[in-house]
Amino acid sequence: MKLRLIFIALLISNSLVFSQSIITDRPDQTESSSTIKGVQIESGLLVESDIYMPGTLLRLAITDNIEVRVFNQFEFIKGDNKLLTSDLEIGTKLQLYQKENSNVEMAFLSHIIVPTGSAMTTNDKIGTINKLCISHPNNNKIGVGYNIGYNYFGEDKGDVTYSIVLGSKLTDKVSIYIEPYGEVINFNNNISNLNYGLTYLINDNFQLDCSSGVGLNHDMNFVSFGFSWRIG
């Protein structure tokens, strides 16, 4: 379960670079505070130990302030030669506050987890992932964003999640970030991590990314590579 939560967070996280044309929800853990226009595909591969986990997030704009989201993930365990499917996520992001020349943006994200995965990966219960997303966009080279959330997976009390990301633009195409994040499992056990990475903007509609993360108070590390493509 812990491994799955880390990957879900990764695939629904954002690249916090406010000056870039495309705003994405990968590769960091902190969700962007903006909704998209048109259609956007965000996909990547995460590798942790002997497990390879490709996954794709599809984002579709319904209005200027509402988007629909569908996420699915696969897991391939080296040596077992088995391709497993995770539970399907269906959700939405709502733009709560966004004004020109304002230094604050807010959005709310919610996903329903449907138990459609393979026997070894499914949670067997309907769950939910929720986040309040806040950022402080500006025209400088540094930006900050943060999330606070609550996840419930059908049993116990659920988990509180948190993250804060600091992003810096190095060139018109290259940006980097560093980000502490974690969760308080069952309102009792705190799991803390550190994530860092970079993005490369191919053009206004296509971005490459790579990232890595480590556990601060537990044994965990991963690397990830992916892309985001805005259509229309």
Across 17-38, average pLDDT: 84
**pLDDT at residue 91 in the model:** 98
Task: Kindly state the tokens that stand for 198.
Answer: 């970079």
Q: What is the DSSP letter of 209?
A: E
Across 3-19, average pLDDT: 41
> What's the pLDDT tens digit per position in 58-78?
999 999 999 999 999 999 988
**pLDDT at residue 139 in the model:** 62
**pLDDT at residue 78 in the model:** 83
Strand locations in the chain, DSSP E? 39-48, 51-61, 66-77, 82-85, 88-97, 105-114, 127-136, 142-152, 159-169, 174-185, 189-203, 206-215, 221-231
pLDDT tops 50 at residue 18: no
pLDDT tops 70 at residue 156: yes
Split at pLDDT 50, 70, 90, the class of 192 is: very high
**2 vs 216, residue with greater confidence:** 216
Residue whose token pair is 């560093």: 178
Domain boundaries, the chain: 2-217
pLDDT tops 50 at residue 113: yes
pLDDT tops 80 at residue 117: yes
Across 179-201, average pLDDT: 97
Taking the model in full, what pTM does it have?
0.88
Q: Which class is 2-217 in CATH?
A: mainly beta
Across 68-91, average pLDDT: 93
